[in-house]
Structure 1
C-alpha cells in the first residue's frame, strides 16, 4: 500500500507507464496529466519495460548497502553496558567513545531505549504474555494496607496529627501498643486478597484480617463463583510462594475446584507482574486516592472502585477498553 503522501498509486503508475510505452506519449505529456515530474514518468515507464505490471508495486526504500552502519561489535557493547549498568545514551557514549545519537539509535533498534522495557532484576528485555481466553489463568496475591486511624492518616495529614489520631484509635480499640518503644499505637493491617484474570484483567478483591491458607482458599472459592456468574470458567491459578499457596490445603482446594495450581519462580515477582501492577493501580485509585476518615470509610469505597475499574476504566494493555469488554457480553454485565 502506498504511503499517504504518494503522488501515484500502483494503478496510476501502470496507467502512466502504458501511455508512454504503448501509446507513445512523451514523458512530459504523461507527467503533466498525472501531475508529476517528467523524470518520474520516465522512471515508471522504464520499470514497466523491464518488469511489466509487477514493477509497479511499492518497494522498500531501504538502501542496498549502508557502509556507515554501526558494526555488530559496537552494537553488542552498547547493549551490554545498557543491560549491566542501566545507563542512558549520553553516559554510554562517554564510556564507549561513540556519538550519543548512535547509542540512542541502537537502543531503539533493539527495543531497549526505555528502562521500563528492561527487567529490573535480569537486565533483559521484558517478555510479555497473555493467555488466549478468560479463565485460562487467574493470578492471586495478597497486598497489605495499614488501617486508617479515626480522623485520617499520615498520607494526607501532618505527622503530629496522624500520630494523635492513631493514639486515640488505639485507645478506643483497647490496644495501646508497645510502651517500651516510645508508645507506638497499633491500629492493625488490612490484608487485601486480590484475583485478576490474565486475559481480560477483570479483578476481584476481598479485605480480610489475615493471609492464612484458610482465608486464601475461601477467597479463591468465592472468586471462582464470581467469575462463573460472568461466564468464565477458571482453569489455572498462578500464585507466589507464600505459605498459604504452598500448603496441602491449597493444593486440595484447587483439585476440588478442578483448577491447576501454579507458582512463580522464587524471588521473581515479575512472573506475577499483572497482579503486581494491579496493586499499584489499586493503591493510586482507591487506597491513597483521597482522605479517608477511617478504615471503615476506605473499605466501603472498595466495591465502587472495583466496579469502576472493571466496567469503566480504560486499560492500556487491552486497547484502551475496560476489562469487562473482554468477557462474554451477558445482559447487564457491562453497565
Structure 2
C-alpha cells in the first residue's frame, strides 16, 4: 500500500507509464503532468516496459543482501540457549558475549514468546482461558501476610526500630526470645469471568475458618446475581477436609483442586494476591496493622468498581457483573 502522502497510487503510476511508453510522451512532460520528478517518471516507465502492469505494485524495502546480519550459527546458539534455559536477552547476551539488542532482535525474528508468557517449568506458552458466564468458576486461595507492629515495622522504620515496636506491641515470644507478632491470613475468592473479588482477613487458615469464609463469599456473590457452580482451590489441608467438601456439596457446587506444584492453574487468584500486596498491603507505609486493615474495604471497592483490569479491556469487574447493585431479583 502506498504512503498516504505519495503523489502516485498504483493506478496513477500505470497512467504515467502508459503516457510515456504507449503514447510516447517526453519524460519531462509526463513528470510535469503527474507532478513528480523526471527520475520517478523514468523509473515507473522502465518497470512498465519490463514487467507490464504487475510492475506498478509496491516492492519490499528489504535489502537484497545483509552482509552485517548476525550469522546463522550465532542465531541458532541464541535460540538454543533460550529454549534450554529460558533466559532473557540480557543474560543470553552476557553468556554468548553479544549485544542484548542483537539477541532481542534474533528472538523477535524467530517469534520466540516473551518469558512472561511462558510456563517456566516446561518452556511452552501459558494456556489462558476464561469462563463464559459469572459463577461458572470461582478461584479461592489464602495468602499469608505478616502483621505490622504499632508504630510501624521495618518497611517504615529501620530494622532495629521496627524490632523495638514489635516488643512493645506484643508480649508473645518465640522459643529463642524474638517477639511473636503473628500473621494475618487473607482468604480470597475471585470470579473467573468477571474478576469480581471478595476478601477477608482472618486469624488462621484452618478448615473452620475456610468453610466460614466460603459461606460469606457465596452470599456475597449471590447478592450480586452470581450463582457459583464450581470452585477451584489448591491442595491445602483446609480444602481437603470433610467440612469443606460437605459445605460445597450441600450448596450443589463442584470442587476441583489444582495439580500439585502447579499454582498457575489457579492463576487468576494468584495474580489477585499479587495485586493485593502491591496496591494495598505494601502500597504505603502503614503505622499499624489496624490502620492497614481499615483501608482494605475501600481498596476492595475501588478494585471491583473503578480500577481498570487489563484482562477486561481496561474496564472494572463491575462491568461484567449482572446485578452489582443488588437491586435486581
With the shorter chain as reference, the TM-score category is 0.7 to 0.9
Match of 2:269 among 275, 279, 291: 275
1:312 aligns with 2:306: yes
How far apart are the structure 1 equivalents of 2:251 and 2:50? 67
Match of 2:173 among 171, 177, 180: 177
- What is the number of residues matched between the two proteins? 320
- Residue 155 of structure 2 corresponds to which residue in structure 1? 155
Q: Which deviates more from structure 2 when the two are superposed, residues 250-259 or residues 35-44?
A: 35-44
- Residue 166 of structure 1 corresponds to which residue in structure 2? 166
- Residue 106 of structure 1 corresponds to which residue in structure 2? 106
Residues 200, 327 of structure 1: 8 Å contact kept: yes
Residues 146, 183 of structure 2: 8 Å contact kept: yes
Query: For 1:284, what is the secondary structure of its paired residue?
Result: helix
- Residue 212 of structure 1 corresponds to which residue in structure 2? 206
Query: For 1:307, what is the secondary structure of its paired residue?
Result: helix
Residues 149, 169 of structure 1: 8 Å contact kept: yes
- Residue 281 of structure 2 corresponds to which residue in structure 1? 287
TM-score between the two structures when normalised by the length of structure 2: 0.77
Superimposed CA distance per residue, residues 196-253 of structure 1 (whole angstroms, 9 cap, x where no aligned partner): 1223322110111221223222222322222232233323221111111122332332
- Segments of structure 1 that go 5 or more residues without pairing to the other structure are none
In structure 2, the CA distance between the partners of 1:110 and 1:235, relative to structure 1 (3 Å rule), is: farther
How far apart are the structure 2 equivalents of 1:62 and 1:221? 64
Superimposed CA distance per residue, residues 92-119 of structure 1 (whole angstroms, 9 cap, x where no aligned partner): 4676688866532231245546433333
In structure 2, the CA distance between the partners of 1:72 and 1:152, relative to structure 1 (3 Å rule), is: same
Query: For 1:216, what is the secondary structure of its paired residue?
Result: helix
State the Cα distance separating 1:131 from its structure 2 match: 2.7
Residues 152, 165 of structure 2: 8 Å contact kept: yes
In structure 2, the CA distance between the partners of 1:97 and 1:209, relative to structure 1 (3 Å rule), is: closer
State the Cα distance separating 1:267 from its structure 2 match: 0.9
Query: For 1:177, what is the secondary structure of its paired residue?
Result: coil
How far apart are the structure 1 equivalents of 2:90 and 2:279? 36
TM-score between the two structures when normalised by the length of structure 1: 0.76
How far apart are the structure 2 equivalents of 1:228 and 1:73? 60
How far apart are the structure 1 equivalents of 2:59 and 2:246? 58
How far apart are the structure 2 equivalents of 1:275 and 1:216? 15
In structure 2, the CA distance between the partners of 1:72 and 1:155, relative to structure 1 (3 Å rule), is: same
In structure 2, the CA distance between the partners of 1:8 and 1:228, relative to structure 1 (3 Å rule), is: farther
Equivalent positions of 1:15-26 (< 5 A) are 17=14
Equivalent positions of 1:78-117 (< 5 A) are 78-89=78-89, 92=92, 103-112=103-112, 114-117=114-117
Query: For 2:142, what is the secondary structure of its paired residue?
Result: strand
Residues 113, 125 of structure 2: 8 Å contact kept: no
- Segments of structure 2 that go 5 or more residues without pairing to the other structure are none
1:38 aligns with 2:41: yes
Query: For 2:125, what is the secondary structure of its paired residue?
Result: coil
RMSD, aligned α-carbons: 3.9
Residues 223, 326 of structure 2: 8 Å contact kept: no
In structure 2, the CA distance between the partners of 1:228 and 1:73, relative to structure 1 (3 Å rule), is: farther
Match of 1:197 among 176, 191, 197: 191
Query: For 1:249, what is the secondary structure of its paired residue?
Result: helix
State the Cα distance separating 1:324 from its structure 2 match: 2.0
Q: Which deviates more from structure 2 when the two are superposed, residues 228-237 or residues 277-286?
A: 228-237
Equivalent positions of 1:103-142 (< 5 A) are 103-112=103-112, 114-142=114-142
In structure 2, the CA distance between the partners of 1:185 and 1:61, relative to structure 1 (3 Å rule), is: same
Query: For 1:132, what is the secondary structure of its paired residue?
Result: coil
How far apart are the structure 2 equivalents of 1:326 and 1:60? 46
Query: For 2:119, what is the secondary structure of its paired residue?
Result: coil
Residues 194, 318 of structure 2: 8 Å contact kept: yes
State the Cα distance separating 1:304 from its structure 2 match: 0.3
